[in-house]
Structure formats: structure tokens, C-alpha cells
Structure 1
Amino acid sequence: MGGNREAGLARLRQQPPEPRALSTEEVRGVVDEFRNAARRAVKAGADGVEVHGARGYLVHSFLGMNSNQRTDIYGGGIANRARFAAAVADEIGASRTAVRLSPFNTFGDIDEGSDGAELYGHLAAWLDELGLAYLHVYDFGRDDVLTQIRDAWRGPLFVIRDGRGPKDLLRAPETGLADIVPVGKLALANPDFVDRWHAGGPFNAPDPETMFGGDDHGYTDYPDLG
């Protein structure tokens, strides 16, 4: 198993190619790919699709001031920067579409700029007008941004708070800044998460060194309460 894991890590450590700016037609093609993927997912039986606009991925890069310097219909204004979400909503219906955001996450050196808080407030309001199913925010400790999103977004709001332990999970809904708290890494490290939650812990700490490793280490070998 160790060899498989090392091989998986080696693949992940390969240097990516130097990025280049896509032409307007190429971006339209990528947007169409998002639309097609959403349509196929629903056709296959999925209830809906969450557009990943967070943590340095493609859609997030369109939100950054330094990563999106375009002057065409995919740059500049907030609506232009969020065309991926709008395209998916048009394809499968707003009630089947959600968006995930991570304001001020610098992964990939993305920088939303000094007006990032305003950007996400306006973006949340614009997404609210689309009538999406829910908004999912990965919060990096900016309560001012989260408050602006909460004020602008009237639908269900999911919030994950970066680096917070189990005792902090309910802080966002208790203060009215979230409706639902998704559980990701903690559930991965604690296959009996529900039992541990009801018992008041203890909880296994997720080990990032074992993630994306290419084998079952760090996925199926966390101990349970028994």
C-alpha cells in the first residue's frame, strides 16, 4: 500500500503547466461544459449541482482581481464574473443549482482586492436574485464578509469555518450567520461522527498528510469509539 500512496503523491506534486488567458470563445466552451455536466448529472439522477467557486478553482479565479483581468464579457462586473453559476441555473433550473464560495481564500494566490467584502456582498445579492437552491460559504474568519453575505442572501446558507474544531461548529448558526453547517474533514476522520457528537467526543483530528494519497491510508483506518 505504501508504494501506491507514494506514487499518488508523486503524481500530485508534478508542476502544472504555465497558465494562459483563454479566448472569449474558449471560455464560452468551458461554460458550455459546465452546463452539459450539470444536465448529465440531473439526467443520471442527481437532485442538483453545486458550482465550485471556491478555494482557487476555475470559477474562483474569475472572481479574483489579480486572476481575472479580462475586458470581455467574463471580466469586470460581478455578473460577468459569475456567468458560470448563471449558465448552470439556466440549464437545469435555479432550484437545482447552488454555489460554493470562499471569500479571501488565497489558495492559488488569488486576491479579491481591497473591495472583496463589497464584491461578495454584491455577488450574494445577485445570486439571490437568481433564486438558487442554497449558497455554500467556506469562511476564512472574515465575519464582516459573512455578515454582508447573510444580509444579501435570503435563501438557505451553508457555512464551513476554516480551522475550527467541533466545539465551534454551531457558532455560525447560533449567531444567525448560517442555517446549516456541513461537516467534511471531521466526518472523514470520524466515521462514527454522529455517535461521537452525541457522546460529546472525543474526535479524531484529520491528518492532511494522508489526504489524496492514493490508497486507503487516512480514509478507512481512523479508529471509532469502540
Structure 2
Amino acid sequence: MSDLFSSIQLGNTQLANRIIMAPLTRARASDGHMPNQMMATYYQQRASAGLIITEATMITAGNSAFVNEPGIYNQEQISAWKKVTEAVHAKNGKIYLQIWHGGRATHSMLNDGQKPVGPSAIAIDDVIHTPQGKMPYEVPRVLETDEILGIVDAFRQAARNAILAGFDGVEVHGANGYLIDQFLRSSANTRSDKYGGSIENRSRFLLDVVDAVSDEIGSAKVGLRLSPLNSFNSMHDEDTLGLLAFVSKALSSRNLAYLHVMRADFFDKQHGDVLAIAHEVYSGNLIANMGYTASEASQAIKENLIDAVAFGTDFISNPDLPLRIENNLELAPADQSTFYLGGAEGYIDYPLAS
């Protein structure tokens, strides 16, 4: 019987356990969206995870949604990421790079005056942190149909760059109100071309990206993250479960390493049993995320409802989380005030279990 500590094969990657480190924005990259030694230390400390999924990483310049997120679009970044992957592999860890485009969730003040882009001219109803303070999100420039292929190709190149940097694979970020999610959900996509309207059309960009990335590096090195219920970044859909069912079925034939589903909404506004839909329709490895305790996670795996669980906040403050779970040790609380603070505090200074 499988549990949290049984091994699992995700595509080409054999994991020692099913405790996944979820992607977590930490805003510690150096100027130029450059990975650095502190990031190598951070990820190496957490190498006992069955799989580390990195923070969202920019596929191109000019779409920064945070002040210091990393990129994977030039040779300097590739070389810098190599130090991270080598550090993780030195501890026998496995690591995927999450590749991402912010779409309308970016701001010109973070991108040298370059305006955000999106599927439709609909702004996020919130504020964004910029070097000049909190600012309202801008109305995005609508992407022309022929521009979309260029972004698909940027995802393809980012996947290639990730493999060159030594990553075991990539996770395509299709969640949390960023560009792919913006195309998927009706609240952000009111297009009338082949990328808008029906669920099939709104899913086209996502599937084009998945196909391009899979063609470049092999589908067995590709995962995808979705957040069907998450209202973060002003997101909702007129048929959440129908959309998820369509996408899950379409992905089943693509032989991905995994599908990673966030089961809830950050703000608890939207509800539904999305994991039941994914479990029923999707035929590959299913990773679940959001709010799991170790006991709930283990039980869900034993019952074959899911194949692995991604833990987020617990990995911030417990770099040796698998050890603590296995030995029923108390988990250290995370200091939310340092999540995006910059520097070592609250990043690489959480102690290992004694």
C-alpha cells in the first residue's frame, strides 16, 4: 500500500517519497532576475522532499509581477540556476523549475515602462507592490492572435533552458490568475477568436504551451499546475468543474509527469470538489495541494485518491519536513512577515530538527 514515504515514478523522475515542495514565491533573486547562492542554499536545505518545485520563474523579460523573482531567459540565468540544481542533486534531491508568464498580473513600474498583456482588456481589481509603493493594477494590452504563438515559443525555450540548467523537468504554471489561467477562465477572457469563448477555445493556449514544452523536452519531464477554484487575482469561471473536466481529459492523452491541482481558494469564496473531478477524468499522476496535514495526505494516498501531496508553508519553516513528518516531530511555525522580505532572515535560517 502506498503512503507518503513510498517511492513514486513521475515521468522520467523517480522520487524517494511523495512529499512534494510546492512552488513558493520568495523574492530573493538578485538584480536582473538572477538566481544566487542564497537560493542554492535554500533549495539544498529542502532536498529531502521527494520533489522540489521552484518558485515561479519568468520565461521572458518584461513580465515581472514581483520585485525579485528569478528568470530563465538568458545564459547568465541558466548558469546561475546550474549552481542551484547542482546543490540539490548533491543531496540526492530532485527539482523541477516552474515556468511562468505573469500576464495582466504585472505592472509597467516593474518592467521599465512595459505595459502588462493579457487575453482581454480587464484589469485585476487590486493593488500591486512596486518600488514606488502600492499601485492599482493596470488594464492590460490585449494580445493579438499572432502574438500568442510567440509566447508559446517562449515557454518552449524556457523549458529547454531549464534542462540546460540541470533541472529534472519543468512545471508549467497554469494557476493563480497568471497568463495561462487568465486565458482559461471566463472572468479574464472575453475574446472572440480561437482563444476565447468556448471552454475548448479558452483551453487552447494552455494545451499549445503544454504541447510545445513536451515537444521540446519530452512530456515525461513536464508537469502542470492548475487552481480551478482560486479567486486570487480576480479570477472565477462560469463553469469551474466543466472547465477542469475538459482540461483533465485533454491532458490525459499527453503522458505528462503529473497534474498538480490546488484544491481550494485562497479566500474561501469558491467551492467544489475539484479533486474528485481530476481523479475521475485524469489518467496520470495527480498531485494535490492546499491545507493538508500529514495524516490527511497519507490517508488520501492510501485510498488512491491522489498520488502525492505538495506542501507549501510547512516547507518554508521546516526545511527537513519529511524527517519531521516521519518521526512525528512538532512543526516550526512560519514567520509570514519574512516571506518576501529579502535576505537570509526567514529564508535560510530556519533550523533543522535537533
Q: 1:111 to 1:159 in 2, by over 3 A?
A: same
Match of 2:278 in 1: 149
Instruction: Report how far residue 13 of structure 1 moved.
Output: 5.0
For residue 85 of structure 1, the aligned residue among 207, 210, 227 is: 210
Q: Does the 8 Å contact 1:172/1:178 carry over to 2?
A: yes
The alignment's C-alpha RMSD in Å is 2.5
Q: 1:171 to 1:207 in 2, by over 3 A?
A: farther
- Percent identity between the aligned chains? 36
Q: 1:168 to 1:210 in 2, by over 3 A?
A: farther
Match of 1:102 in 2: 227
2:319 alignment partner, SS class: coil
Output the CA distance in 2 between the equivalents of 1:12 and 1:207: 25
More strand by share: 2
Instruction: Report how far residue 144 of structure 1 moved.
Output: 2.4
Range 145-154 or range 72-81, more displaced? 72-81
Output the CA distance in 2 between the equivalents of 1:173 and 1:143: 20
Structural mapping, 1:160-199, within 5 Å = 160=289, 162-199=290-327
1:219 aligns with 2:325: no
In the alignment, structure 2 segments of 5+ residues that lack a partner are 1-27, 29-66, 69-128, 266-270
Match of 2:122 in 1: none
Q: Does the 8 Å contact 1:51/1:98 carry over to 2?
A: yes
Instruction: Report how far residue 10 of structure 1 moved.
Output: 6.1
Match of 1:71 in 2: 192
Output the CA distance in 2 between the equivalents of 1:172 and 1:132: 21
Output the CA distance in 2 between the equivalents of 1:90 and 1:203: 41
1:45 aligns with 2:166: yes
Instruction: Report how far residue 200 of structure 1 moved.
Output: 0.8
Q: 1:26 to 1:102 in 2, by over 3 A?
A: same
Code of the aligned partner of 2:213: V
Instruction: Report how far residue 143 of structure 1 moved.
Output: 5.8
Code of the aligned partner of 1:157: L
Output the CA distance in 2 between the equivalents of 1:188 and 1:180: 19
Q: Does the 8 Å contact 2:229/2:272 carry over to 1?
A: no
Match of 1:32 in 2: 153
In the alignment, structure 1 segments of 5+ residues that lack a partner are none
TM-score normalised per structure 2: 0.56
1:203 aligns with 2:327: no
Match of 2:142 in 1: 21
Q: Does the 8 Å contact 1:186/1:205 carry over to 2?
A: yes
Q: 1:223 to 1:95 in 2, by over 3 A?
A: closer
Match of 1:130 in 2: 254
> CA offsets per residue over residues 63-120 of structure 1, 9 Å max, x none?
111111112222233342422222222332222222111111011111122x111110
Output the CA distance in 1 between the equivalents of 2:299 and 2:229: 20
1:158 alignment partner, SS class: strand
Q: 1:47 to 1:195 in 2, by over 3 A?
A: closer
Q: 1:132 to 1:188 in 2, by over 3 A?
A: same
Output the CA distance in 2 between the equivalents of 1:54 and 1:208: 22
